[in-house]
A and B are shown apart, each in its own frame.
Chain A
Amino acid sequence: MSSVRLLVGTRKGAFILTSDGKRERWEVGGPFFAGWEMYHLKGSPVDPNRLYASQTSGWFGQTVQRSDDGGATWTPVGNKFAYDGVAGTHQWYDGTAHPWEFKRVWHLEPSVADPDVVFAGVEDAALFRSSDGGANWEELAGLRGHGTGPRWQPGAGGMCLHTIIQDPANLERMYIAISAAGAFRTDDGGRNWKPINKGLVSNFMPDPTAEVGHCVHHVAMHRSRPEVLFMQKHWDVMRSDDGGESWQEVSGNLPTDFGFVIDVHAHQPETLYVVPIKSDSEHFPPEGKLRVYRSRTGGNEWEPLSNGLPQKDCYVNVLRDAMSVDSLDECGVYFGTTGGQVYASPDSGDHWTPIVRDLPAVLSVEAQTLA
Chain B
Amino acid sequence: MKGEGGAVRAVQVILPYHLRNLAGVGAEVTLEVDAPVTVRSVLDALEARYPMLRGTIREYGTGQRRAFLRFFACEQDLSHLSPDLPLPDAVAAGREPLLIIGAIAGG
The number of residues on chain B lying at the interface, defined by a beta carbon within 8 Å of a beta carbon of chain A, is: 20
Contact of B59 with A by CB under 8 A: yes
Report the number of A-B residue pairs with Cβ-Cβ less than 8 Å. Answer: 46
CB contacts (< 8 Å) of A57 on chain B: these are 18
Q: Which of B18, B60, B61 contacts A60 (CB 8 A)?
A: B18
Contact of B10 with A by CB under 8 A: no
Within 8 A of A (CB), among B33-73: 52, 54-57, 59-61, 66, 68-69
Instruction: Determine if B56 and A60 form an interchain contact, defined as CB atoms under 8 angstroms apart.
Output: yes
Instruction: Determine if B66 and A60 form an interchain contact, defined as CB atoms under 8 angstroms apart.
Output: yes
Contact of B1 with A by CB under 8 A: no
Instruction: Determine if B68 and A79 form an interchain contact, defined as CB atoms under 8 angstroms apart.
Output: no
At the interface, is chain A mostly helix, strand, loop or mixed? loop
CB contacts (< 8 Å) of A80 on chain B: these are 54-55, 60
Contact of B102 with A by CB under 8 A: yes
Contact of A76 with B by CB under 8 A: yes
In whole angstroms, how far apart are the Cα atoms of A81 and B102 in the complex?
Answer: 23
Within 8 A of B (CB), among A41-92: 57-63, 76, 79-82
Contact of B19 with A by CB under 8 A: yes
CB contacts (< 8 Å) of B106 on chain A: these are 58-59
* Residue interface bits A22-51, CB-to-B below 8 A is 1, else 0: 000000000001111000000000000000
Instruction: Determine if B54 and A35 form an interchain contact, defined as CB atoms under 8 angstroms apart.
Output: no
Instruction: Determine if A59 and B69 form an interchain contact, defined as CB atoms under 8 angstroms apart.
Output: yes
CB contacts (< 8 Å) of B19 on chain A: these are 60
Instruction: Determine if B18 and A36 form an interchain contact, defined as CB atoms under 8 angstroms apart.
Output: yes
Contact of B22 with A by CB under 8 A: yes
Q: B-side interface residues toward A, CB under 8 Å?
A: 16-19, 21-22, 52, 54-57, 59-61, 66, 68-69, 102-103, 106
8 closest A-B pairs (Cβ-Cβ)?
A76-B52, A60-B56, A59-B68, A59-B102, A79-B55, A80-B60, A61-B55, A61-B56
List, sorted by A's number, 28 A–B pairs whose CB atoms are closer than 8 Å: A35-B17, A35-B18, A36-B18, A57-B18, A58-B68, A59-B16, A59-B18, A59-B69, A59-B102, A60-B18, A60-B19, A60-B22, A60-B57, A60-B69, A60-B102, A61-B55, A61-B59, A62-B55, A63-B52, A63-B55, A63-B56, A76-B22, A76-B52, A79-B54, A79-B56, A81-B60, A82-B60, A82-B61
